Each structure stands twice: as C-alpha cells, then as structure tokens.
Chains A and B, each alone.
Chain A
C-alpha cells in the first residue's frame, strides 16, 4: 500500500471516529437526568411561551430528527446556542479555546524542550547520579496530581507569600484591546506563570522517561560506535545521531500527549480559575447546558483525534524506514 492510500484510509478513520464521538455524546446528553429546559424555561411562563422556546431549540421533535439535525450541524460546525446565555456555542468556543491553547502550548513547549533534553542527557550519562535524580523527579512529577501541585503552589506563593495572583487570567478590571495584546501584557504573563509551571512540571516527566529509555536502546546500536570511530564530537553524536534516532517514539508520544493535555485541561483550569475550554465544559455539564457541553467536548475530543492522526503521518516523515502496509 502506498503513502497516498494510507493517508486516505487514515482520513476516513478520522471521520468515522469523529462521527462516533458525536453520536455517543448526543446519546449521553439526552440520557442525562434533569430537564434541561428548566434552565431555559422559567416556571412563570405561559404554556405557549414555554412551548415556543422548546420548539426553537428543536427539543420537541422526535429523537431521530434531532439526531439528524445534530449531525448536519456538526458538519458545518454549528453546535447550537447555549441554554444558559443564548450565545452561539461556536462563539463560546472561540472565547475559551484560545485561552486553553495559550496555557497548554506554553507549558507543553517548555516541558518537551526541557524533558527531551534531560531525557537525552540521562540516557547518555546512564548510571550516574544525574540520571537517578532526573528519573525520580520525573516519576514524582507524574504521580502527584497536577491540581494538587496547583493548590500547593497557590497556597505557598499566592496565599502565604502573595507573589502570584490567586485566580484568573487577568486582573479584575483590566481592559485589553484584543487577544494578542492581552497575551503580551505583563499582567497576563503574571497570571500565566504559575499554572504553566505546574503543568509544565507534570508534562515534563513523560518525554523524559520515554526519551531516556529510547536513548538507552539507540546507544547500544552499532552505528553509535561507528560515529565515535568517525571522530565526531560527543555532542554531535549525542544530539545529531543518538537523540535524532531516539526522538521517533517521543514525537508520536508528544502529538498524542498534547491532545490529552488539551483534553485534561479541566483540572488545572479549575484550580487556577483559568477561563479555558475545559473549565467551561465542566460548568456547562454541571448546569445542564447541553449545547455548550457538547460543543466544548467535541472540540476537546477532536483535538485528540486530529493530533493522533498528525502523529501517525509525522512518523512517516521522520522515520525513512516506515512503510505503509
């Protein structure tokens, strides 16, 4: 099988998976106990007004009609309107998703740069005290829940020392002309620092451990001996040859992990009251705001699915040995 047909098949699989996620979500939210209309429809309303509102959301139609409409809308990325605020869900997503992405990407890029470097070094200097301490640090980082580390950081640096803000993304009353103006403001960066560090510390463990064991495998290969015999500098062998080969599993893992990072944004955003899409999803679920919960969930799931897809394709470019059978 050639590369083209691999891409086609993988794309089909992507679409099917997205459809399945959408369908399951549709079913789940309709199974949810509690009448969602009670949030929209006030009891003081007349029957007529109540009926009109229900109809306007299409909640009176048979389930299969609702389902077909749901799928049709999904294709054009229309997730309906919030029961709660009446805003279109796409607008809710557009408000919260960038916030999540800024936080996640900052933490992620820092974590993977540092994690991979430490992984390379700890694989290279195996058996050293440096290796032991990095491995223990990585394991600890992955064992203590992020939201707990977040709590402790907030307690020590926020409540006790007062050097970081306790919540949110910007200070109250701050006005920013636009998203990028906000991102590059000092105030925002102050808010970003703590959650990004906490997340970064957690993310770091994974690439570090994978990179280390991958390095150990690569370093036992004969071509490393040849590189040394060629008179290459240690650093050249370590990074250009050993790390480059050891990178392959990490790259796949990174793309997948980034997906899960965005999906797992729920907790850290809750702890730091970061107005991101994960926190918004939880709030929507808690107040039975189907359209928002559905829309945000699908965005989170789609991130994972698409990044898995990217990881599969990227592998083919990074490893010349890959064949598409």
Chain B
C-alpha cells in the first residue's frame, strides 16, 4: 500500500543531501513534493463512489455559496412587502413551489424574509464556519501534536495537560459561554470552536509523532545536525498529513453542527443568516405548530447533507489510511 510506504520514509529525504542548492531552488522542490503528495492522496480518495458523491455535494454547496447573490432572488434580510401598498406580508407567504402565485419559491418567514434566499445565503455561513474552523483546528492541533510528540518530556506533559483540560470542557456549553462573553457573532462562534476543537487532532497527531520520531530517517536527520524546526516541518509534518486531512474533514462536519446548535439556542449572529438561525427563527414563530414545514425542513436537510458529506469524505480517507478497516 502506497500509504504505508509513504509513512515509512520522509518524502524529503532526497532534499537533504543537495544542500548546495540555492534557497529558491530548494523551496521550489519543496513545493513540488508537497504538490505530488497531495495529488497522490487525492487520487486514492476519489476512488470510492460515496466519496465522489460527497465531494460533488460539497462542491455544489461551495458554488452556491460563491454565487449566492446571483442565485438568491432577494437579500436574505430584506423584508418582502405585499403589493404596492407597502404592507408587510401578513403571517407568511406560502411557497410558490406548492402552487402559491407569489414568486417566493419556499415562501417567506413570519418576518417577511424570503426563505429560499435565506437558505442560499445560509450556505455561506455554514461553509465559512466549517472551513475556517476546520483549517484552524486541524492546523493548530497538528502543530501542537508535532511539537509535543517531537520534544516529549516537559513540553509534551504541559501541552497534553492543556489538551486534557480542554477534553474536560463540554463542547456546546463552553461555546455558549464563550459566545456570551465575546458577543454573539459568527467570528466569535468560529473562535470558540477553534479554541476547543483542536484537542482531538493534537492527541492523534502527537501519538503519530511519537512513533515517527523513532524512525531511522528522523534519527539520521538529527545526527546530521538538522534543526528541530527542520525535522518537524520536513520529516514529521508530511507524514502526519493524512491524519490532519482526516481530522480536518471531520472538523468541518462538527463545526457546522455546532454552529447550527449555538444559533438554534439563540446565540447566533443576528446580522448573518445561517441555517441554525433560520431554525431558531422558525421555532420562535411557532412554525412547527402552524405546520409551515417549508420554513424549518430545508435548512435541516442542508445541514445534514453537508455534514454527512464531510463524514463520508473523512471515512473514505480513514479507509485508505487504515488498511485494517477495509
């Protein structure tokens, strides 16, 4: 399996003897090797059908998010008025999808917002939260894990106690308190998620780093007098990359779920429309009791689709990195 082979040696081994090369040249080669690793991983990943479908779903949501202003007929927080009289729509408009003749595909909310437009713009919030939180949690987690695993001893102890502490914090309540302290907006939700969620990546990467640092190529680099940073970035990091990706893709899913939860509780960003805030609003206006399902069913389906795609991509990736599961 190519994966095992890759983790058995550093992909940079050939770089270290050519130390006479110019710095620029070296960086070019580094970039090329990184690129090759990424392409190789990508090819293995797209082998499976469920992963392909999931990637397709994610790509579709990304496109919707990018072209939201073109797809959505109205700004998400623009009140819709009935006729020319300027009267706010009473109660809510039924969806034109069900035959109502008003141009609102999924109807409007009780506040007079176009639901379809909100749904489209909600994609932006979800992806932003998911991607930013995942990149940072996986990034920070990997860095901390590598440092802890590589240095070991007191550094490892100290960092792992921080991780233990974070593991003692219940996710949602902590995010709720943090958002309450920092103020309810999307960035603070993302920040709160990052503060907590790097813990799992750090733990896994650390144990990988612990075993990697005993490998001959790391020992060899140490003997050759390579700096710690050089060893971490050139020898350890590329080899834990698959795990970072894995946790990153799970991280997207968890972040989207958490944002939806926090928003649903009422600590969402009042100025941004997310699928979670839509659900919260529908609940606040008792859409449930009135049976206005077109308000609260679509956002949940979107959350589910995006999250399950994240899980499936992660699982697909897990299977190529862990042959025992196949």
Give A contacts to B, CB under 8 Å.
Answer: 13, 16-18, 20-21, 25, 28-29, 31-33, 139-140, 142-145, 147-148, 151-152, 154-155, 158-160, 166, 213, 216-217, 259-260, 262-264, 266-267, 270-271, 278, 281-282, 285-286, 293, 297, 300-301, 304-305, 308
Q: B253 at interface (Cβ–Cβ under 8 A)? A: yes
Q: A278-B173, A304-B168 are in contact. Are A270 and B265 (CB under 8 A)?
A: yes
Contact check: which of A28, A147, A270, A304 meets B178 at CB < 8 Å? A28
Q: B99 at interface (Cβ–Cβ under 8 A)? A: no
Residue in A closest to B308 when the chains form the complex, CB atoms: A143
30 A-B residue pairs with Cβ-Cβ distance under 8 Å, sorted by A, are A16-B161, A25-B177, A28-B178, A31-B181, A33-B183, A142-B311, A143-B304, A143-B311, A144-B303, A145-B257, A145-B260, A145-B307, A147-B264, A148-B279, A148-B304, A152-B300, A159-B288, A160-B291, A166-B288, A213-B325, A259-B170, A263-B173, A266-B173, A266-B265, A267-B261, A278-B173, A286-B266, A297-B170, A300-B170, A305-B168
Q: B154 at interface (Cβ–Cβ under 8 A)? A: no
Q: B165 at interface (Cβ–Cβ under 8 A)? A: yes
- Least CB distance from A235 to B in Å reads 25
Q: Are A144 and B164 in contact (CB under 8 A)?
A: no
Q: B180 at interface (Cβ–Cβ under 8 A)? A: yes
B253-307 with Cβ < 8 A to chain A: 253, 257, 260-261, 264-267, 279, 283, 288-291, 293, 296-297, 300, 303-304, 307
Bound: A153/B169 CA distance, A: 30
Contact check: which of B161, B170, B253, B288 meets A304 at CB < 8 Å? B170
Q: Are B170 and A145 in contact (CB under 8 A)?
A: no
Q: Are A301 and B169 in contact (CB under 8 A)?
A: yes
Q: A17-B164, A151-B300, A166-B289 are in contact. Are A32 and B180 (CB under 8 A)?
A: yes
- Least CB distance from B85 to A in Å reads 32
Q: B171 at interface (Cβ–Cβ under 8 A)? A: yes
Q: A145-B303, A301-B170 are in contact. Are A152 and B178 (CB under 8 A)?
A: no
- Least CB distance from A284 to B in Å reads 10
Bound: A264/B165 CA distance, A: 17
Q: B125 at interface (Cβ–Cβ under 8 A)? A: no
Contact check: which of A21, A142, A263, A293 meets B172 at CB < 8 Å? A263
Residue among A28, A266, A297, A305 with the highest chain B CB neighbour number at 10 A: A266
Q: B167 at interface (Cβ–Cβ under 8 A)? A: yes
Which 6 interchain pairs have the tightest Cβ spacing? A263-B170, A143-B308, A148-B300, A144-B304, A143-B307, A305-B168
- Least CB distance from B94 to A in Å reads 17
Contacts of B253 in A (CB 8 A): 143
Residue in B closest to A13 when the chains form the complex, CB atoms: B164
Bound: A270/B308 CA distance, A: 24
Q: Are B291 and A139 in contact (CB under 8 A)?
A: no
Bound: A266/B32 CA distance, A: 47
- Least CB distance from B265 to A in Å reads 6
Contact check: which of B283, B288, B308 meets A139 at CB < 8 Å? B308
B145-197 with Cβ < 8 A to chain A: 161, 164-165, 167-173, 176-178, 180-181, 183
Q: A143-B253, A143-B304 are in contact. Are A155 and B288 (CB under 8 A)?
A: yes
Give B contacts to A, CB under 8 Å.
Answer: 161, 164-165, 167-173, 176-178, 180-181, 183, 253, 257, 260-261, 264-267, 279, 283, 288-291, 293, 296-297, 300, 303-304, 307-308, 311-312, 315, 324-325
Bound: A31/B182 CA distance, A: 9
Q: A20-B168, A263-B170, A301-B169 are in contact. List 6 more A-B contacts (CB 8 A).
A: A148-B260, A158-B288, A166-B288, A264-B172, A286-B180, A293-B177
- Least CB distance from A194 to B in Å reads 13
Residue among A28, A139, A151 with the highest chain B CB neighbour number at 10 A: A151
- Least CB distance from A71 to B in Å reads 16
Q: A139-B311, A140-B308 are in contact. Are A308 and B167 (CB under 8 A)?
A: yes
Contacts of B169 in A (CB 8 A): 21, 301, 304
- Least CB distance from A147 to B in Å reads 6
Contact check: which of A29, A31, A151, A285 meets B176 at CB < 8 Å? A285
- Least CB distance from A123 to B in Å reads 11
Residue among A21, A147, A293 with the highest chain B CB neighbour number at 10 A: A147
Contacts of A217 in B (CB 8 A): 324
- Least CB distance from A10 to B in Å reads 11
- Least CB distance from B231 to A in Å reads 27
Q: Are B265 and A154 in contact (CB under 8 A)?
A: no
Q: A140-B304, A217-B324 are in contact. Are A285 and B180 (CB under 8 A)?
A: yes
Contact check: which of B170, B303, B315 meets A264 at CB < 8 Å? B170
Q: A139-B312, A151-B296, A155-B296 are in contact. Are A300 and B288 (CB under 8 A)?
A: no
Q: Are A20 and B173 in contact (CB under 8 A)?
A: no
Bound: A160/B292 CA distance, A: 11
Contacts of A278 in B (CB 8 A): 173
Contacts of B266 in A (CB 8 A): 286
Residue in B closest to A20 when the chains form the complex, CB atoms: B165
- Least CB distance from B240 to A in Å reads 21
Bound: A45/B72 CA distance, A: 52
Contact check: which of B173, B307, B315 meets A144 at CB < 8 Å? B307
Q: Are A148 and B303 in contact (CB under 8 A)?
A: yes
Bound: A172/B37 CA distance, A: 63
Contacts of A271 in B (CB 8 A): 283
Bound: A20/B303 CA distance, A: 34
Bound: A143/B290 CA distance, A: 27
Bound: A267/B175 CA distance, A: 13
